[in-house]
Amino acid sequence: MTKKVIFHKNRLLLILLLVGVFSSCSKIYSVLRKDVDSEGKTDIKSKFNDDNKVYTTNRLFSYNVHQIDAARELNYKMELLVIPGKYNGGTKIKYKLYYTEENLTLKEREEYIDSNKLYKWDITNVMEDDEGVWIHPPRSYTLEKLQLSPFPQIDFPAKIGDNWASRMYIGAGWGDLRGKTVSSDYIVESVKYSETDSLNFTARVKAETYFDEENHLCKAVFDFDSQLGFTNMSYVFDDSTKVEIRLVE
């Protein structure tokens, strides 16, 4: 089957903007991120959220995260909250990571466990329209490794065997990775539609990222539910690092 390269207009724009984010100074980002937190605000227009069916304003998604690194294993809670406004041309979302002291280093405990809040947070976005859903995963704190993983994505209508590819150029600020292109390949492995409602379905998408055909970085599995969104986002990296993010229903 011929592989298709899909760039929906809004997703192409998002990828270009992400390159700009990757190229920016982390110190500037850390300052700006405080200004984009619109949780709980009611005076912000949310036109990018208005036609969403899954990722709707103020909807909360709770996850269990199981992370296995070379020398440790972490279990913690994570929340994805859809908040008012837009971010990088899409619906604004806020990740909240609830770490405990168990298995964190002393430095991580000082940085990740805030005495004023129960969680560490990050702002990013999700793209949802009639063509599909494309979500920016959490990529901060202990999940920095997800910077080189496939992004959870599914196109509508979901069909078994559908496959596509995307490319992302790495800009300044990534050290030795600068100038490289990360490639991502996707394929829909399974789809199951409801017998009573043709609009409701579940699907599994498999994906992987690589610099070239011989240098694979990460393999991922994404389970999507048309009512619940991404219910599972699992990653296995070339160094055996594993991250499993599962929705708590």
Residue 16: predicted pLDDT: 38
Q: What CATH number is attached to the domain comprising 74? A: 2.40.360
Q: Does residue 101 lie in a domain region?
A: yes
Residue-level pLDDT at 33 = 53
Helices (H) and strands (E) in the chain, counts: 3, 13
Q: What is the pLDDT of residue 130?
A: 92
Position 214 scores a pLDDT of 67
pLDDT of residue 116: 81
Helix then strand then coil, % of the chain, to nearest 5? 15, 45, 40
| Spans of the chain, pLDDT less than 70 | 1-35, 173, 213-214
Residue 45: per-residue pLDDT = 82
**Is 35 part of a structural domain of the chain?**
no
Query: What is the tally of structural domains in the chain?
Result: 1
Cβ(61)–Cβ(137) under 8 Å?
no
Identify whether the C-beta of residue 133 lies closer than 8 Å to the C-beta of residue 154: yes
Domain containing residue 169: 4-25+43-247
Asked if the structure places residue 198 within a domain, the reply is yes
H or E, element range at 218: strand 215-225
In a domain? residue 32: no
Q: Is 149 among the domain residues? A: yes
- Count the Cβ atoms, other than its own, within 10 Å of residue 82: 24
Assigned domain for 8 exists: yes
In a domain, 63, yes or no: yes
Give yes or no for a contact between 63 and 79, defined as CB atoms under 8 angstroms apart: yes
Side chain identity, residue 165: A
